[in-house]
């Protein structure tokens, strides 16, 4: 690979404007044309050491559509269960002939660790509470598709910001695309000094909803709450959940995102399913095309230049 060609996707912070243009252009193209065999002869390992539905399935689908091979890996039946370390596991996967590892892991920095130690491309599919760059990229693509541009648009990120890798990857990417990002959450679910990440904090949800162009609701990640941070989910739903009354506060044409999985009745009430601006399933659909773009960009940049 040339010095200018990235080898890994670890964080949205690493993406240059030219990378973003390539990824968005390729995603759009893959959505409306037959898929080129950009990954012919390439082997990609889906190394998910934390549960996933959308991310894993869409990376697997993206590999197949581009003519590559998915090497099966199941954390629960792997030698991780016998105590083999992540690094040893990954080095052995590399020795088996992998060209890329798509890694989801519960520890912050796991993808960076492998990127430093291995010669294969590492794609961060979510590391702890740190980053989930492919999710932020598909979120941004979905918004660009709907709005044309994010310059000056107000995006409200609502919910469990403290534990959200999706929020962290989105903060940087949305700002670099010109959006103004605000967060709103119970105090216990806001990281200390979150403003230093370049976002504003809304003190009253109802006021923030009335001003926003896009609201991105986040899952309450109870499994990461080491100590109780909320009195109850029912109370969260009452004060922070988006139901008919709060959705009515949004401007006409406002959009609703959620990275999934949704806790229906907690972050979103059933009325959100039929809300006009609900793009949640478009996010999932676009996730396949964005992940095709990411794989082609990392593993076959020359093919991407010819086909996109
Ligand atoms: N958005 C997301 O990461 O979903 P999964 O956990 O199902 O992959």
Pairing of strands 69-71, 255-257: unpaired
At 4 the pLDDT is: 64
158: nearest Cα among 243, 97, 50: 243
- At 266, is the secondary structure helix, strand, or coil? coil
50: nearest Cα among 141, 160, 158, 130: 130
pLDDT at residue 1 is higher than 90: no
**54 catalytic residue (yes or no):** yes
At 3 the pLDDT is: 47
At 7 the pLDDT is: 94
CA of residue 270 relative to chain centroid, distance: 23
Q: What is the pLDDT of residues 95-142, one digit of tens each?
A: 999 999 999 999 999 999 999 999 999 999 999 999 999 999 999 999
**151 catalytic residue (yes or no):** no
Q: Which of 12, 55, 129, 142 is catalytic?
A: 55
- The crossing angle, in degrees rounded to 10, of helices 54-65 and 133-147 is 80
Report yes or no on whether pTM surpasses 0.95.
yes
**104 catalytic residue (yes or no):** yes
Residues facing residue 182 across a β-bridge: 156, 200
Give 24 Cα–ligand 1 centroid separation in angstroms.
20
- CB 54 less than 6 A from any atom of ligand 1: yes
Q: Which residues of 159-179 are buried (b: 16+ CB within 10 A; e: fewer)?
A: bbbbbbbbbbbbbbbbbbbeb
Closest residue (by CA) to atom 1 of ligand 1? 259
């Amino acid at each position: 690979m040339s010095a200018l060609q990235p080898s890994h996707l670890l964080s949205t912070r690493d993406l240059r404007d030219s990378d973003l243009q390539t990824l968005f252009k390729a995603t759009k193209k893959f959505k409306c044309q037959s898929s080129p065999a950009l990954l012919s002869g390439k082997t990609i390992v889906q190394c998910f050491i934390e549960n996933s539905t959308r991310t894993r399935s869409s990376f697997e689908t993206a590999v197949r559509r581009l003519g590559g091979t998915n090497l099966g890996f199941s954390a629960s039946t792997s030698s991780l269960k016998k105590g083999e370390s992540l690094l040893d596991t990954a080095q052995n996967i590399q020795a088996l002939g992998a060209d890329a590892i798509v890694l989801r892991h519960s520890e912050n920095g796991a993808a960076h660790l492998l990127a430093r130690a291995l010669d294969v491309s590492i794609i961060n599919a979510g590391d702890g509470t740190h980053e989930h760059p492919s999710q932020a990229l598909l979120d941004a693509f979905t918004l660009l598709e709907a709005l044309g541009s994010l310059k000056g648009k107000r995006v409200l990120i609502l919910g469990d910001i403290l534990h959200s890798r999706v929020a962290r990857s989105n903060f940087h990417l949305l700002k670099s695309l010109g959006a103004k990002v605000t967060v709103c959450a119970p105090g216990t679910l806001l990281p200390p000094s979150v403003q230093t990440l370049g976002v504003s904090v809304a003190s009253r949800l109802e006021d923030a909803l009335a001003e926003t162009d896009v609201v991105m609701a986040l899952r309450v990640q109870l499994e990461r709450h080491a100590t109780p941070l909320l009195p109850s989910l029912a109370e969260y739903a009452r004060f922070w959940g988006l139901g008919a009354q709060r959705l009515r506060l949004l401007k006409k044409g406002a959009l609703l995102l959620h990275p999934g999985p949704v806790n229906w009745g907690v972050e979103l009430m059933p009325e959100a399913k039929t809300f006009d601006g609900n793009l949640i399933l478009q996010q999932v659909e676009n996730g396949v095309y964005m992940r095709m773009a990411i794989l082609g960009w990392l593993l076959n940049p020359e093919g991407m230049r010819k086909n996109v």
